[in-house]
Structure 1
Amino acid sequence: MHLTITNLNKTYGNGVHALKDVNLTINQGMFGLLGPNGAGKSSLMRTIATLQEPDSGEIFLGDINVLTQKDEIRKTLGYLPQEFGVYPKVSALNLLNHIAVLKGITNSSERKNVVEALLQKTNLWDARKKNLGGYSGGMKQRFGIAQALLANPKLIIVDEPTAGLDPAERNRFLNLLSELGENTVVILSTHIVEDVKELCSDMAVFNKGEVLFKGSPDEALNGIAGKVWTKRIKKDELSEYKANFKVISEKLIAGNPVINVLADQNPDGTFSAIDADLEDVYFSKIFLQS
């Protein structure tokens, strides 16, 4: 089972061209869609999830035409959007049971087994009778995954799932996603490089509605190996370095910028070579697009 996206385009009424001839083939497993906020990732996710129509293009999950067979795809889709709301005065057990009915699990015995298994899987069993309004951010995200897993989906979409989670909740959530990717197509849309690095065997860098790179993290790293250089400079030198070199990232350390530069060789003899990481790939692809 794989997801195929062909020549997908979407322009909103305000003139924003959110998707520009997007072409992707996503196989079973964890797929990372990496890009900054506003890159168009959520537009792509909503289109795949049948929540909005593209202007042109095709999407197939196996033999299912996502754009014309919406009822079929919804039967096999699990979706956790970036903004996931819950009823604060309803318990996790009752709400998950209600959503299971809406997803077509009408046999009460089967539904009871499915709901209880998912609450166990997402480590929410002990808090199953607690109102969702009292859940932490990570618990709400795990409940979101529980509802997304109802009816054994073949495609799972999670949009910015770890934003705002503390480190412990983030680790629990990522471990759960990793388990899901063993038997399902899971698309992880995020701007957090570490999430992709830790989980995904395949990935794409996405910005301004375009696919800038598609491949494995190792392929991405090999593409810039030996081409990233670093140097600590003074604040008042930053604009000059940006004007003369391909500065792909900067960060302040003890009050002064440390810059990473993309170049085939030491730019001026004063930089130090570093081993590129996935963050350098991310910044370099976006820099080259601008």
Structure 2
Amino acid sequence: MSASYQRREMARNRYLVLPSVILLTAFVLYPSGVAIYTSLTNLSLTGPAALNPRFIGLGNYARLLHDGSFWHSLVVTFWFVLFSAIIGQLALGLASAVLMRRRFALRPFFNAIILMPNAVPGVVAALMWSSMLASGDYGTLNKIVAWFGVDPQRWLVTFPLSMIIVINIWRGIGFAMILMTSGLSAISDELYEAARMDGATPWQSFRRITLPLLVPTIFLYLLVSTVTTIAIFSLVYALTRGGPAGATEIIGIYVYNQSFDAYRLGYGSAIAVVLLVISLIIGMFYVRALKVEV
């Protein structure tokens, strides 16, 4: 292969990736750079700092270390991500993928039911669930539990974090099922046939064949779902605004409250930068885990 041909190929490849580089720079790198710079200032939406912000270095980050509300939002975010994305969506998505591989009546109907929440925008889903979880005798869930003799509950007040975890699981099962189904389709049926001939039970086949071979798919799903769940905002904001008393104030809600309710853009940007660093660390961990050999 001539050197001139290689140079033309390299130039063509650069032109092909140029649109992606432009979009990445415009919508990811530049906003991230602006956020990092803003986090080093005392920029505010009101007062003297709105017109003439000062460079204060790591002052906002030092303040974060002593901000109890910030650490509380991190804890709430941890439980929200753990139970909704890492445990709930993964477990139910995998179970749905395994069940949907079997042939039974109305399988397309159940597939559609599981996948339908993916087509619902976050705000629309929040409004729908607000109606279902409404207090008093008019809420759908209260009507259901009344059949069993349970008194009406104020679900988003008594069990706020549990409710948004359930709603987020409902929204994410479809995506988990799609990824798990693609992983299951790559496993040869001959392995299961050989296991059955050796006397393996369905549980043994699942534990010894399915799970080990699904490890790369599982870690890929965890990478995507963990990062996207950390960044959730519209669903929780439309449901609870982070309340009551901060019970559902995940980190995205806390960034919004500090930036636009408390008018401290510099401080809110510092929280957003910390969130970015946490997401990058989690992403690096999962990328390394994806290299595991089965």
| Normalised TM-score (structure 1) | 0.24
Structure holding more strand per residue: 1
Choose 1 or 2 for highest CA Rg. Answer: 2
Return the structure number with greater relative CO, CA threshold 8 A, min gap 6. Answer: 2
Could you say which structure has the higher helix fraction?
A: 2
